[in-house]
């Protein structure tokens, strides 16, 4: 018997993090070696206790202080630098980055820089710093395993196909559920509420990505993510709306054949795929019964009602700091919408105005991105105020 794979979970108290801990607990081949969260210290300590951990990290210092007080036997790392310490000291074979937002970029850089394999749920890392992140992985030999369901699907399809030789892949397609507002007009979207936006039809996820799914910004971020992961030009990556969320991704080949990846929507499947790769594991999830589903439907995305997808594609093609600015402005706008400070359509408007003001500059180092992220947050906040 070989030793278990040592897994560190960042963002462990979130939607992906909690499901990942379930997957890890159900497997003898995976061992949890540390967890982190921003401020939910009680939930984090509960995870540490039930998994017999020695160390955790909380990026919000006051929460870290309270956790340290409540858990004298354990090691509590504090602040963004505490995350770095956790990565270095827990000695993981694999880091699962399930942090939300561009705050995940720092830990992505640390893990890959150390040559540690990365299971990546934090798509924002690739949106913000795709070129540099991929180059870093290439330089250290660390692998990036996508956790995002569409990308896990594509990873499997492409992995199977590339064994047959390069250059056979013509197009990639990622599916979108369409979110809770599919079929509504732009005018109707003026009056939708936060509560309506948070009730996703097929996936239960954290608040930020749920709003991104409602605006279709999530698919924009995913197009950028796919471009970097699979080195396919933007004009060969399609988005199609598929309300049942059964088909997750498709690959069109040079002979006209199309490979599709299907399954019931359950994030434990792509999480387990990334954590166990290159092995497969048995998973106790619902099996797909197509006769019961009955029909799978597809339709084009409505870019008039959901301009965020168009704006994301424009920023992607502009390149440089534009995707970073797009992401930061989106985080600020989503936050403002959740706080009831702006209407739903103002999310995309804020992002477009911020991109318009800041434009795109070339990126040669990560510091350029951290600065662009900071500046974009200021500009987006000013646009909202």
> Which of Mg ion, ligand NAD, none has residue 319 at its interface (CB below 5 to 8 Å by kind)?
none
Q: How far is the CB of 29 from Mg ion (least distance, A)?
A: 25
Residue pair 21/32 in contact (Cβ under 8 Å)? The answer is yes
Instruction: Give counts: helices (H), strands (E), the chain.
Output: 17, 11
Q: How far is the CB of 40 from ligand NAD (least distance, A)?
A: 5
How many C-beta atoms surround the C-beta of residue 32 within 10 A? 24
Interface map 36-55 toward ligand NAD (x if CB under 6 A): -xx-x---------------
Q: Which of 5, 7, 8, 17 binds ligand NAD (CB under 6 A)?
A: 17
- Tell whether residue 243 is a contact of ligand NAD (CB under 6 A): no
d(CA 282, CA 375): 46
- Cβ proximity to Mg ion: between 16 and 105 the closer is 16
- Cβ proximity to ligand NAD: between 89 and 357 the closer is 89
Interface map 141-160 toward Mg ion (x if CB under 5 A): -------xxx----------
- Tell whether residue 13 is a contact of ligand NAD (CB under 6 A): yes
- Cβ proximity to ligand NAD: between 142 and 153 the closer is 153
Q: Which residue is nearest to ligand NAD (CB)?
A: 14
Which has the closest alpha carbon to 1: 34, 24, 32, 31? Answer: 31
- Tell whether residue 148 is a contact of ligand NAD (CB under 6 A): yes
- Cβ proximity to ligand NAD: between 38 and 227 the closer is 38
Binding segment for ligand NAD (CB under 6 A), chosen from 122-130, 164-172, 245-253, 332-340, is 122-130
- Cβ proximity to Mg ion: between 100 and 336 the closer is 100
- Cβ proximity to ligand NAD: between 203 and 366 the closer is 203
Interface map 248-277 toward ligand NAD (x if CB under 6 A): -------------------x----------
Q: And the tokens for 115?
A: 């040559």
d(CA 297, CA 340): 34
d(CA 310, CA 283): 37
Torsions phi, psi for 227 (to 5 deg): -55, -45
Residue 322 to residues 43, 189, 213, 332, Cα–Cα distance (Å): 36, 26, 21, 15
DSSP string over 71-126: -TTSEEEEHHHHHHHHHHHH--SEEEE---SGGGHHHHHHHHHTT-EEEE--HHHH
d(CA 31, CA 330): 35
Q: How far is the CB of 150 from Mg ion (least distance, A)?
A: 5
Bridge partners, residue 176, by sequence = 241
- Tell whether residue 124 is a contact of ligand NAD (CB under 6 A): yes
Q: Which of 71, 203, 366, 370 binds ligand NAD (CB under 6 A)?
A: 203
How many C-beta atoms surround the C-beta of residue 296 within 10 A? 15
Residue pair 381/331 in contact (Cβ under 8 Å)? The answer is no
- Tell whether residue 228 is a contact of ligand NAD (CB under 6 A): no
Give the binding site for ligand NAD (CB under 6 A). 11-17, 37-38, 40, 59, 98-101, 103, 121-124, 148, 203, 205-206, 208-209, 267
- Which residues here bind Mg ion, judged by CB under 5 A? 148-150
């Amino acid at each position: 018997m070989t030793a278990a794979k040592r897994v560190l979970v960042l963002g462990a108290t979130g939607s992906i993090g909690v499901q990942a801990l379930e997957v890890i607990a159900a497997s003898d081949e995976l061992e949890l070696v540390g967890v982190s969260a921003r401020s939910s210290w009680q939930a984090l300590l509960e995870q540490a206790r039930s998994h017999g951990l020695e160390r955790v990290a909380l990026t919000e210092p006051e929460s870290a202080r309270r956790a340290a007080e409540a858990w004298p036997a354990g090691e509590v790392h504090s602040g963004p630098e505490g995350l770095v310490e956790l990565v270095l000291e827990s000695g993981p074979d694999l880091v699962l980055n399930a942090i939300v937002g561009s705050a995940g970029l720092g830990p992505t850089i640390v893990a890959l820089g150390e040559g540690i394999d990365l299971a990546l749920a934090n798509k924002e890392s690739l949106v913000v710093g795709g070129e540099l992140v991929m180059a870093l992985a290439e330089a250290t030999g660390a692998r990036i395993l996508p956790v995002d369901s569409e990308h896990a699907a594509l990873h499997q399809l492409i992995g199977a196909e590339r064994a047959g030789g390069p250059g056979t892949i013509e197009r990639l397609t990622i599916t979108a559920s369409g979110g809770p507002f599919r079929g509504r007009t732009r005018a109707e979207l003026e009056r939708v509420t936060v509560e309506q936006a948070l009730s996703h039809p097929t996936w239960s996820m954290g608040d930020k990505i749920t709003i991104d799914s409602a605006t279709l910004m999530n698919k924009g971020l995913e197009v950028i993510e796919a471009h970097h992961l699979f080195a396919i030009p933007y004009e060969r990556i399609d988005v199609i709306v598929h309300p049942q969320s059964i088909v997750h991704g498709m690959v069109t080949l040079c002979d006209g054949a199309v490979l599709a990846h299907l399954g019931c929507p359950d994030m434990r499947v792509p999480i387990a795929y990334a954590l166990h790769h290159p092995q497969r594991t048995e998973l106790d999830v619902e099996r797909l019964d197509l006769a019961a589903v009955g029909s799978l439907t597809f339709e084009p995305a409505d870019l008039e009602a959901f301009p965020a997808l168009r704006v994301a594609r424009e920023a992607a093609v502009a390149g440089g700091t534009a995707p970073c600015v797009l992401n930061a402005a989106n985080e600020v706008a989503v936050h403002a919408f959740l706080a009831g400070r702006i209407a739903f359509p103002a999310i995309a408007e804020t992002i477009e105005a911020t991109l318009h003001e800041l434009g795109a500059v070339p990126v040669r180092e990560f510091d350029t991105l951290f600065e662009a992220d900071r500046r974009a947050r200021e500009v987006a906040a000013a646009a909202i105020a």
